């Protein structure tokens, strides 16, 4: 089994017709299976920083956060590590910071909460920066962004923390440049302000889990409406097309970090739309590589043209399933 995994790990992330696809990992705890060598992926596309907070009994101190983050930066020292700032609220609760709301998914979540508590945000950013001084492979990503003001305020705080760290460590801004900053596209309003967001940040990354939840107004964790949580809904497909179009127009990097990228059918749909940078759970990487080597972008573009005319998710999904069946 291990030999097979290693064999696929050594395959290039290239489609049969020669298109390169950049594959990255989603992680939250510092453990990656040992069969995953650096050749297998090109970085961490999403580090869910709330996970160590959720395993703790109190807010981790700045120094504790430095140790946690540093081990990750050191482990992937030659690769970019995209750390998302604390994304609690909604389904992600901290026992030591209870939030009681009637509608938690529409409430105090992600960047909304940390901007209301700048001390939490600043400590985390300082820890990320301090931990990455030697490796300089940090990229900072902001969750649940829905407005330009949130990005401006976050950037102001990040720059403040960066100047403090430079000063304390006697580093010039040239010796320790400000890391790239990006936003997640997972709140529908963000889709329509990419023209305004793009000049403020270095990259965008689509959180398809929340984006689907909010586009369709379907709780991602409610089994009663699980059938309605449809990643292949025509509205999701159209939204994904629009985001790519807007990103290209603004010449800004866009990737996917939601679960859809690691799903075989979702992968085909995203490739057909034109996405080339995908971040996923470690256990999906080899499966995705295996598929890449079998498919062609030109065929997937044709499938996507058909899918874009579909009236429902069943038709859209089936279009790609039929293609996959054809490939055996």
Binding interface with ligand PEP (CB under 6 A):
46, 48, 87, 186, 207-210, 257-258
Question: Minimal distance in Å, beta carbon 49 to Mg ion?
Answer: 13
Identify what 150 binds: Mg ion, ligand PEP, none; CB under 5 to 8 Å per kind.
Answer: none
Residues paired with 22 in a beta bridge: 277
Residue that has been written with the tokens 């609760």 in this structure: 93
Which pair of tokens denotes residue 249?
């127009």
Q: Which stretch binds Mg ion (CB under 5 A): 50-58, 185-193, 196-204, 243-251?
A: 185-193
Applying CB under 5 A, among 43, 207, 266, 313 the residue interacting with Mg ion is 207
Least Å from the CB of residue 101 to ligand PEP = 17
Site string for Mg ion, 127-166 (x = CB under 5 A): ----------------------------------------
Nearest CA to 285 out of 73, 77, 44 is that of 44
Outline where DSSP puts E strands in the chain: 22-27, 44-48, 81-84, 138-142, 180-185, 203-206, 253-256, 277-281
Closest-CB residue for ligand PEP?
A: 207
Q: Decide if 165 contacts 125 (C-beta within 8 A).
A: no
- Residue labelled with tokens 């030109």: 298
Considering the complex, what minimum distance in angstroms separates the CB of residue 109 from ligand PEP?
9
Nearest Cα to 211, choosing from 193, 175, 187, 247? 187
Instruction: Decide whether 186 or 263 has the Cβ nearer to Mg ion.
Output: 186
Which range binds Mg ion by CB under 5 A, 126-134, 172-180, 186-194, 299-307? Answer: 186-194
Asked if 210 is part of the footprint of Mg ion (rule: CB under 5 A), the reply reads yes
By a kind-dependent CB cut-off of 5 to 8 A, residue 111 interacts, out of Mg ion, ligand PEP, none, with: none
- The token pair at 60 is 């981790």
> Measured between alpha carbons, how far is 240 from 242 in angstroms, rounded to an integer?
5
Torsion, Cα 126 250 194 79, to 10 degrees, reads -30
Can you read off the two tokens belonging to residue 142? 């902001």
Find, among 91, 103, 104, the residue nearest to 51 by Cα.
91
Q: Does 259 bind Mg ion (CB under 5 A)?
A: no
Q: Smallest gap, in angstroms, from Cβ of residue 117 to Mg ion?
A: 19
Residues 6+ apart with CB under 8 A from 31: none
Give dist(CA 325, CA 140) in Å, integer: 40
Which residue number, 162 or 275, has a Cβ lying nearer to ligand PEP? 275
Residue number, 48 or 317, with CB nearest to ligand PEP: 48
Listed ranges 24-32, 179-187, 241-249, 263-271: which one lies at the site for Mg ion (CB under 5 A):
179-187
Tokens read off for 69: 């983050």
Question: Which residue's CB is nearer to ligand PEP, number 161 or number 260?
Answer: 260
For residues 230 and 259, which CB has a smaller minimum distance to Mg ion in the complex? 259
Our CB check for ligand PEP shows the closer of 88 and 303 to be 88
Site residues, Mg ion (CB under 5 A): 186, 207, 210
């Amino acid at each position: 089994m291990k030999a097979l995994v290693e064999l696929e790990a050594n395959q290039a992330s290239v489609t049969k017709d020669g298109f390169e696809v950049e594959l990255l990992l989603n992680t939250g705890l510092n453990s990656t299976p040992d069969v995953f060598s650096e050749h297998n992926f090109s970085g961490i596309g999403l580090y869910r920083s709330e996970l160590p907070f959720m395993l703790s009994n109190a807010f981790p101190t700045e120094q504790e956060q430095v140790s946690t983050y540093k081990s990750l930066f050191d482990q992937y020292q030659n690769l970019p590590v995209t750390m998302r700032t604390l994304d609690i609220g909604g389904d992600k609760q901290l026992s030591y910071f209870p939030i009681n709301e009637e509608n938690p998914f529409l409430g105090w979540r992600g960047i909304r909460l940390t901007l209301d508590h700048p001390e939490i945000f600043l400590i985390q950013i300082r820890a990320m920066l301090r931990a990455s001084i030697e490796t300089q492979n940090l990229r900072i990503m902001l969750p649940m962004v829905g407005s330009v003001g949130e990005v401006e305020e976050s950037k102001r705080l990040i720059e403040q923390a960066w100047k403090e760290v430079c000063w304390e460590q006697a580093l010039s801004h040239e010796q320790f440049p400000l890391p790239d900053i990006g936003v997640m596209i997972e709140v529908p309003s963000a889709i329509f302000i990419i023209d305004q967001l793009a000049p403020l940040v270095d990259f965008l990354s689509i959180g398809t889990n929340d984006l689907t939840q909010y586009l369709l107004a379907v709780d991602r964790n409610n089994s009663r409406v699980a059938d309605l949580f449809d990643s292949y809904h025509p509205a999701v497909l159209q939204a994904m097309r629009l985001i790519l179009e807007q990103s290209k127009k603004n010449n800004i990097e866009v990737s996917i970090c939601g679960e859809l990228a690691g799903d075989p059918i979702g992968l085909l749909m995203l490739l057909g739309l034109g996405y080339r940078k995908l971040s996923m759970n470690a256990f999906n990487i080899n499966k995705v590589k295996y598929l890449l080597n079998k498919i062609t972008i030109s065929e997937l573009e044709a499938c996507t043209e058909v899918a874009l005319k579909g009236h429902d998710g069943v038709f859209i999904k089936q279009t790609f399933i039929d293609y996959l069946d054809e490939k055996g």
